[in-house]
Amino acid sequence: MRVLPLAFDSLGTRSMATLVETADIRILIDPGAALGPSRYGLPPHPIEKERLKEHKKKIKEAAKEADVLVITHYHFDHYLRDSPEMYEGKILLLKDPRSWINQSQRNRAQEFLSKIEGRPSRIEIADGREFYFGRTRIKFSQPFPHGMEGTKLGFVLMCLIESGGQKTLFSSDIGGPSYPPTAKWIIREEPELLIIDGPATLFIGWKEPPEILSKANELLLNILNQVRPWKTIIDHHVVRDLEWMEKMEPVIEAAKREGISMETAAEFLGLRPDFLEARRRELYGMKG
Ligand SMILES: [Fe+2]
């Protein structure tokens, strides 16, 4: 199985777009990218806008080669809404647009589905289901909260791809994890490669309570101890915080001690992380 991160926060935009290639099929997970509309009271910098263009281009090119597109929820950093042609002839595995969904995502899903109407070759509601393509298995979780229990941000699906005796688990926006049943699902699936978003420490005191950090650290430690994935890609939410490594120190230290590789998507690709949004002040020539 080949796993290729296309656009991630450590590559400069809000995204988790990932292409997974197995012997049977090419799967593009969460084909979207976006920018933080306001950070430190500043709008996106031209460098970020340029990067967003590059990432969207990359995603559209990958979509051309993909057989299956997965959308784990309807936030704009997880699907492209203004490129209906991208979905032409594709198999779409989607988060249920009608149940376990908040109002804002319900509206977005409806709008999106009417825009792409007639284009995909097949559309399937993926919540809690399994799909086989040759010997490749794609398994979806039931909807889990986008962060801690009771969050207003809605629900997401996790996605597990199994092929050739290897499992890759894509957590989507579970906020860490920060809800114990989410961690339990990951532990039960025992992935070799775990792609996870980390807690949205940036949203503390606004969209998330302060406990999200300690909860995520505790649950991530459980996962590392029980699953011992060969590799963990940690990216997206948590790396919007420049102090993320200090905040997640117990987890990073445990991974080191246990010899479990833990890195950002950029590092996974052999690149230096480029946290453009977190460095926005600096991009504008202001003190970091
Ligand atoms: Fe997201």
Q: Is the dihedral of CA 267, 32, 252, 20 positive or negative?
A: negative
Question: How many Cβ atoms from other residues are within 10 Å of residue 241's Cβ?
Answer: 21
Q: Which domains, ranges and CATH numbers included, belong to the chain?
A: 2-283 (3.60.15.10)
What's the CA-to-centroid distance between 241 and ligand 1, angstroms? 14
Question: How many Cβ atoms from other residues are within 10 Å of residue 31's Cβ?
Answer: 28
What's the CA-to-centroid distance between 112 and ligand 1, angstroms? 17
What's the CA-to-centroid distance between 200 and ligand 1, angstroms? 10
What's the CA-to-centroid distance between 175 and ligand 1, angstroms? 9
Q: Identify the pLDDT of residue 288.
A: 57
Which residues, in sequence order, are CB contacts of 14 under 8 Å at separation 6+? 33, 34, 35, 36, 77, 236, 240, 277
Instruction: Report, as ranges of residue numbers, the positions in the chain whose pLDDT lies below 70.
Output: 288
What's the CA-to-centroid distance between 171 and ligand 1, angstroms? 11
What's the CA-to-centroid distance between 250 and ligand 1, angstroms? 24
Write out the DSSP string of 225-277: HHH--SEEEE-TTGGGSTTHHHHTHHHHHHHHHHT-EEE-HHHHTT-----TT
What's the CA-to-centroid distance between 205 and ligand 1, angstroms? 18
What's the CA-to-centroid distance between 75 and ligand 1, angstroms? 6
What's the CA-to-centroid distance between 131 and ligand 1, angstroms? 24
